[in-house]
Amino acid sequence: MSEPSVRTDRALFLDRDGTLIVDKVYLADPAGVELIPGTGAALRRARELGYKLFLFTNQSGIGRGYHTIDDTYRVNARLEELLALPRPVFADLCIAPEAPGQPSAYRKPSPRFIIEMIARHGLDPAQCYLVGDNASDHQAALNAGIHPIMVRTGKIDPGSIPEVARHGSPVFENLAAFVQTLA
């Protein structure tokens, strides 16, 4: 009897600031990257379960002129280094550099990145989750037709909890607590 194969059509779309790392607001210095406890182990477990990982981050500090896209790449590289997982950690990533109010195709709550990644990587939307800490993450997941998961490690606005509850979206203490529920 052969071993069951690991599914490759499921994914976690992950917000960065407040979900994977401590939100330092307009983080431009890689030295400031601080993993939220349990993040590395949670992502390792998700990968073992066959989930592809996608980084999905709004970085309005670029559009506002506070830092550059290269700063963001350096911060992301430090994130990957601290995760200590085989690289590439993320199957793909989307950095939305626009500030609110600027024209943007990818800035959350836009579902465009998710929809493109589902098509590009042959993902099953019913097996995809967006894990984030604010209303735009939640809405992006709903807009894309995937499961929204909220974590309390970032900027979750207590006022958004009723909206999250109205959709039946679960709220977890952190990414690690959510990943423990995956099979």
pLDDT of residue 62: 97
Give me the pLDDT at residue 88, please. 95
Please indicate, yes or no, if residue 1 is contained in any of the structural domains. Answer: no
Residue 15 annotated in active site: yes
From the list 52, 24, 45, the residue with the least C-alpha distance to 181 is 45
pLDDT for res 8: 80
The whole-number pLDDT of residue 154 equals 85
Q: How do strand 92-96 and strand 128-132 relate by DSSP bridges?
A: unpaired
Task: Give me the number of domains the chain comprises.
Answer: 1
Active site residue: 15, 23, 71, 137, which one? 15
pLDDT < 50 stretches in the chain = 2-3
Kindly report, residue by residue over 113-135, the tens digit of the pLDDT.
999 999 999 999 999 999 999 98
Provide, rounded to the nearest whole percent, the portion of the chain with pLDDT above 70. Answer: 93
- Residue 1 pLDDT: 52
Could you tell me the residue range of the domain that residue 145 belongs to?
Answer: 10-179
**What is the CATH classification number for the domain harbouring 14?**
3.40.50.1000
Active site residue 157: no
Residue 5 in any domain: the answer is no
| Active-site annotation holder among 17, 71, 133, 137 | 17
Rounded CA separation 103/110 (Å): 12
